[in-house]
Amino acid sequence: MRTLYTQPLFMALQQLKQGESSISLKQRFAEDPVRFTRFCFTFGGHMRVDLSRQHLSGEVLSTLCELARTMELAPAIESLFGENELNHTEGRAVLHTALRVPPETNVSLNGHNVVPAVHMELTRMRSFCEQVHSGAWRGYSGQTITDVVSIGIGGSELGPAMVTEALTPYQDKGIRVHFVSNMDGAQLGSVLMHLDPARTLFVISSKTFTTDETLTNARSARSWLLAACGDAKQVEKHFVAVSVNCLAVAEFGIDAAYMFRFWEWVGGRFSLWSSIGLPIALALGFDRFEQLLAGAHEMDQHLRETPFEQNIPVLLALLSIWNINVLGLGSEGVFPYCHHLNRFPAFLQQLNMESNGKSVDSRGRPITHSTGPLVWGEVGTNGQHAFFQLLHQGSLIVPADFIGFVRTPYPYPEHQRKLLANMLAQAQALAFGKTRQQVEAELEAEGLGAEEIARLAPYKTMNGNRPSTTILCDELTPKTLGALIAMYEHKTFIQGWLWNINSFDQWGVELGKKLAAQLVDELAGVGSGQQDAATQGLVRQITRWQVECKA
């Protein structure tokens, strides 16, 4: 039975906490000159994951690994690569790893190898990208495509948008890719106002093809196109779809020939490797999309083949169990020191919070311990000048992931040196802080008197001892990014396994969608009027202001 809190090894961890909490990070480093080497882990030639500034000891780590073994993590990991029923509440298998395997691999689902279909779709994507890039694909006026607008939301947007932006230096195909997700027409309107309908291609991405935001945006985009070309037959030259729902795509008016498929066994937030990645391939070229897949596959191999003690996604997940369930730290900050990873925190938010924000176990029973953390973040160095104050001196302790890249394609070596120095400095300051004595000595050196020193010292003292992980990569390439994303995907799955939750459903988002549909009627004046008092009051106010606006 996978109940974390009743595992004897979990209780052993709680007992270890007593002794471990009294040892500061400073002390750990002082007592162990090879701590960095012992706790810094290697992925291939291009990634290092440094856990030395986490509140970990060798004993804690080996107990966590033992706990994972008793909770049958090894067979769980294997199940992610073949026949499984991991998403039991939706009656679906979970096989996103099959989207990045070489063509000769056999991944069986219900007795059928899914890999040929995966590669057939990749081939269709490649051929479509080549048509667009070569200029063979023409719009209604006979001109080539210059702009792609990808319309989708959640998993059908966050992954593709994050990767496309992250790999900006690789965008050399002459196609600008824009993303529209929000129901707020401001986003669609502000994108379209700069585009020429004759040279714009829309990719409508939705697994279900029922998501209101996506369909509302897609319909408005079609009207915009029709207003320019005046001929419904021309729509097919400007609209393609990515979905599992052929019927709904056809109903929208997109021909099956222009639909790229994926499968129910691909969860939305794990789908960027499928044809949901089409906007990425259009922006970067298909070869680079394949490199992204290759990087993720390399991480998959690492996950399957590496002993837990050296296995990076396993260690990251176990660390979060230690931080969340033993040390009581329920938030995780992610800080990429790379401007193009601007959307990485938002991507991770969906990946982890939609997956593990659950409080019912795999048998429908309430879970009494903490599960998914609050995941948030911002790129460095911007975050430093915004909320890092709380990280350094606030009462909330937030374990942080710092992500940095040594090389940059931009010709500003001084910026890069300073950027990396800032990343290292933050992890250092969080871990080791500044003692009262150091502060007093500094103030004295500045010439301040004893009274002033005594007054200011408490404010300037930083206790440190705040945990962080540093993920250092050589360069942000499609391959490294693929590996980095897959690493976090696997961490998410392993956390869910250890908490005994289904990381692959998302029932919690359904109620809001249904209520919104009813409230559209209320706002249009055709609802039942049977709403709670607060909602009714706000509906009345909205209606009043709408009327005043028209008058």
Site of interaction with ligand F6P (CB under 6 A): 153-156, 206-208, 211, 214, 268-269, 354, 506, 509
Residue 156 C-beta: closest distance to ligand F6P, Å: 4
Instruction: Write down the catalytic residue from 194, 385, 514, 550.
Output: 385
Give Cβ neighbours of residue 519 (< 8 Å, ≥ 6 apart).
Answer: 527, 531, 535, 539
Identify which of residues 181 and 234 has a Cβ nearer to ligand F6P in the complex.
Answer: 181
Instruction: Write down the catalytic residue from 332, 354, 378, 440.
Output: 354
201-217 per-residue burial string, b: 16 or more CB within 10 A, e: under 16: bbbbbbbebebebbbeb
Distance, in Å, from the CA atom of 346 to the CA atom of 354, rounded to the nearest integer, reads 12
Concerning whether 490 is annotated as a catalytic residue, the answer is no
Concerning whether 354 is annotated as a catalytic residue, the answer is yes
Identify which of residues 168 and 208 has a Cβ nearer to ligand F6P in the complex.
Answer: 208
Identify which of residues 208 and 435 has a Cβ nearer to ligand F6P in the complex.
Answer: 208
Transcribe 82-149 into DSSP letters: SS---BTTTTB---GGGGGS-TT---EETTEE-HHHHHHHHHHHHHHHHHHHHT-SB-TTSPBP-EEE
Instruction: Write down the catalytic residue from 369, 415, 418, 513.
Output: 513
In eight-state DSSP terms, residue 51 is -
Whether the CB-CB separation of 318 and 304 falls below 8 Å is answered with no
Residue 460 C-beta: closest distance to ligand F6P, Å: 45
Residue 432 C-beta: closest distance to ligand F6P, Å: 40
Residue 276 C-beta: closest distance to ligand F6P, Å: 8
User: 42: which strand partners?
Assistant: 48
Identify which of residues 155 and 464 has a Cβ nearer to ligand F6P in the complex.
Answer: 155
Identify which of residues 211 and 234 has a Cβ nearer to ligand F6P in the complex.
Answer: 211
Cis peptide before 123 (omega within 30 of 0): no
Residue identified by tokens 């945006």 is: 217
Identify which of residues 83 and 184 has a Cβ nearer to ligand F6P in the complex.
Answer: 184
Q: Which two tokens stand for residue 449?
A: 């008197």
Concerning whether 369 is annotated as a catalytic residue, the answer is no
Residue 522 C-beta: closest distance to ligand F6P, Å: 21
Instruction: Report which of 266, 265, 313 is spatially closest to residue 156, judged by C-alpha positions.
Output: 266
Q: Long-range contacts made by residues 503-511, C-beta under 8 angstroms, separation at least 24?
A: 503/86, 503/355, 503/356, 503/358, 504/86, 504/87, 504/90, 504/92, 504/94, 504/267, 504/355, 505/87, 505/89, 505/90, 506/268, 506/354, 507/89, 508/357, 508/358, 509/354
Residue 249 C-beta: closest distance to ligand F6P, Å: 12
**Active site positions, annotated:** 354, 385, 513
